[in-house]
Structure 1
């Protein structure tokens, strides 16, 4: 499956039209169409970063699927993914908290998706409050 078809499948799984995805990501509808048709073979990192949270995948996943080469550099408390084009030129660098990703990458990706979503401040506070309350409840049970 080509990259365009992959994006189209993700978009359809989320029940989004091209226009709605474009609106949510604040990119042009034409750009989404070009990606899905295969006309845009390697979308820019900015576009991929904008659409990733709305498609339910991580930015780094889209970068790899688009054909950017990833080099992971380990540091004590975090790691970096360095993305390069086919000529070896650095295109983007993404840093992630090591412990969080090692323990549960799905949780880390969910936290990222929430933080980059278009939720209102009140909606974000509600998610934080509910998560905090659940954490406290589970920790009390463990005592």
Structure 2
């Protein structure tokens, strides 16, 4: 088994979805999803992984890293220097971004 395969299977099971239900909702065939969950490499495209992430309610970036579409080093530029931002809700993040935009605008 692969890390990605285990992750996909666990995420699907946590949502209470069968492979047939996944096929109905996003069009990935049972056999391809089964192969992916059993560790077949490069069986799913990035677009399909994104659809699965949305359906399962999981972040897409870890899926892309596990699938080999991204390396952790690819994300260095996008990492926040702030701690605990994951604890903030969207309104709080937007408020902070507004403050950052204000400061940048004020600098000229």
TM over 0.5: same fold?
yes
**Whole-Å separation in 1 of the counterparts to 2:16 and 2:7:** 14
TM-score in terms of structure 2 length = 0.60
Q: Which runs of 5 or more structure 2 residues have no equivalent in the other structure?
A: 91-108
Larger proportion of helix: 2
**For the structure 1 residues 46 and 106, does the alpha-carbon distance in structure 2 shift closer, same or farther, using more than 3 Å as the test?**
farther
Determine helix, strand or coil for the equivalent of 2:75: strand
**For the structure 1 residues 107 and 21, does the alpha-carbon distance in structure 2 shift closer, same or farther, using more than 3 Å as the test?**
farther
Aligned position for 2:50 = 49
Number of residues of Structure 1 aligned to a counterpart in Structure 2:
83
Aligned position for 1:104 = 86
Determine helix, strand or coil for the equivalent of 1:72: helix
**Whole-Å separation in 2 of the counterparts to 1:107 and 1:30:** 38
TM-score in terms of structure 1 length = 0.47
2:49/2:64 contact within 8 Å kept: yes
Query: Relative CO higher for 1 or 2, CA cutoff 8 Å, sep ≥ 6?
Result: 2
**Whole-Å separation in 2 of the counterparts to 1:73 and 1:12:** 32
Structure 1 residue 107, shift from structure 2 partner: 4.7
2:46/2:69 contact within 8 Å kept: no
Q: Which runs of 5 or more structure 1 residues have no equivalent in the other structure?
A: 81-97, 109-143
Larger proportion of strand: 1
